[in-house]
Amino acid sequence: MNDKNHFTYECHVCDDTWPTEGDRTIHENEEYYYCADCDRYFRSYNNIRMHLQSRIHRSEQMACPSCKKCFVTTTGIAHHLESGGCPNAPHINRDRVYQVVRSKDPHGAISKKFLTWHGSRHYEATDRSWNGYAYECYFCHREFNQLQSLNQHLNSPTHLQDLYHCPNRGCKLDFKTFASIINHLESESCGFMRFETVQRKMGNVLGSDRLLTF
């Protein structure tokens, strides 16, 4: 009975059998990039992994610590807070989230340490940014049809300081928002930690008094 071809759960693709349904699912995912629940094949393991982490397979189980709105991943909560989208905490923004993360990351595992940091600047473009064809960004020269769109661009994280870095020393990527570094780790692109570990550790940063450790 130790032969994998003599167990109860038979692979939907080949003739291999497995002792548990979970073992069979892992086999189908990793060997054939196949999702039995959706009866769907994928081009690569990364594609099926992203599919399994999508709303199709994950219930909204991560709750905002303030308004309790539920999200599929910690990235969703971080973006919700950094963008000022929480109705119970309208004062929370990118800068405030960075201050919270930094206070819980004393060794700088993911947050950059600055000798002086005064928060994000607010920019407001005027009609003088019109170049005869469009409203032009002074920094990157990107053009916009409306002045409001240019101001949204100027006050987005696009031209702001990088506040975070990947904890994987071999990765060396920097990030402007907490949501973007969480999204990077959730993707497992640098192999630093598994998706489930990211949810637990980063969720603790936002929703508890625990320090961030790796």
Percent of the chain with pLDDT over 70: 94
Domain boundaries, the chain: 4-52, 62-120+160-207
C-alpha–C-alpha distance, residues 90 and 85, integer Å? 7
- 3-class DSSP assignment, residue 32: helix
Residue 138, C-beta contacts closer than 8 angstroms, at least 6 positions apart: 125, 129
- The CA-atom distances, in angstroms, between 167 and each of 111, 197, 198 are 9, 14, 12
pLDDT (tens digit per residue) in 130-149: 999 999 999 999 999 999 99
pLDDT (tens digit per residue) in 51-93: 888 776 776 678 898 999 988 788 889 999 998 889 998 889 9
pLDDT (tens digit per residue) in 9-46: 889 998 889 888 888 999 999 999 998 887 788 889 88
- Residue 202 burial by Cβ neighbours in a 10 Å radius (0-12, 13-18, 19+): buried
Q: How confident is the model at residue 2 (pLDDT cuts 50, 70, 90)?
A: very low
Cβ proximity of 143 and 136 under 8 Å: yes
Cβ proximity of 178 and 97 under 8 Å: yes
Cβ proximity of 153 and 135 under 8 Å: no
The confidence score (pLDDT) of residue 205 equals 83
C-alpha–C-alpha distance, residues 142 and 110, integer Å? 30
Strands 70-71 and 62-63: antiparallel
Sign of CA dihedral 183, 88, 97, 126: positive
Phi, psi of 188 (to 5 degrees): 60, 25
C-alpha–C-alpha distance, residues 124 and 138, integer Å? 11
C-alpha–C-alpha distance, residues 172 and 164, integer Å? 10
Q: Which residue has the tokens 């031209």?
A: 159
Phi, psi of 111 (to 5 degrees): -95, 140
- 3-class DSSP assignment, residue 92: coil
